[in-house]
Structure formats: structure tokens, C-alpha cells
Amino acid sequence: MESNRQKKIAGILQQDLVDVLQRAASEGGLKGVIISVTKVSVTVDLSIAKVYLSIFPNKEGQELLKGIRSNTPLIRHELAQRTRHQLRRMPTLEFFIDDSLEYIDNIERSLKGEENPIKDEDLLDRRKKS
């Protein structure tokens, strides 16, 4: 169960991260890429913040995640500047892709019957048990 302090810090980080990442994407010449911070969870000792990102278009996700991870020290510094009046210590940032939207989309497609293994036999190979 998250404490109020954890939730508050997560909220502050989430707001500022959206600004920092979106600006970095636009300055980096990435037009039409939308990076949203879907969730931030902070450990009990407030030392680590796990940041879940949703990146559109999806195919850019892994490449962008690599770039974000390699720039983590710069992002952390930028956040520390922005939050210096609210946070004494900046947590270590860990970035992950939040694929829950993609997961939901796949479920919806399956429910609508768009993935029909009888019509598309390629789907069957994926589902075979080894």
C-alpha cells in the first residue's frame, strides 16, 4: 500500500516528466511522437521511481526507451532542478514501457473476432503449446 508521501512524490514526478520528455522529443526532431507518463510508483524509502511510459506510435517504443534510458542522468538532473523546492533527494529513475493499452487493444480485437485462427492459420502457430 502506497503512503500519501509516495503518492505525492509520484504525482510531482509524473507531471514534470511529461514536460521534460515531450520537450526532449520535440527538440530531438521527433515529430508526431507522443510520450505520455502513464504511471510513476515510488519505493517505500523514496529512493527509486519506476516510470511507465506509453509511446505513440508503438513501433517507436523500444528505440525511444533506449534513448530515454541512456539520457536518464540528464533527465534526473532536469527533474531535480524543477522539484528542488518540493523534494530533498531525487529518486533514481527507472523507465519501462507500459504496454497495458496495447494489451487491452489486443483483447478487444480478439473479442470482436478480428483474430480468427480459422481464417488466418498463421495465428495458430503462436498458440501451440511446446
Segments of the chain assigned to CATH 3.30.300.20? 4-98
The strand pair at 92-97 and 34-42 is best described as: unpaired
- CB neighbour burial string for 75-113, b if at least 16 within 10 angstroms, e if fewer: bbebbeebbeeebeebbebebebbeeeeeeeeeeeeeee
pTM of the entire predicted model: 0.76
Domain at 4-98: CATH code: 3.30.300.20
List the chain pLDDT tens, one digit each, 130 residues: 779 999 999 999 999 999 999 888 778 777 778 888 999 999 999 999 999 998 888 787 888 899 899 999 999 999 999 998 888 899 999 999 988 777 787 788 778 876 665 666 666 655 555 5
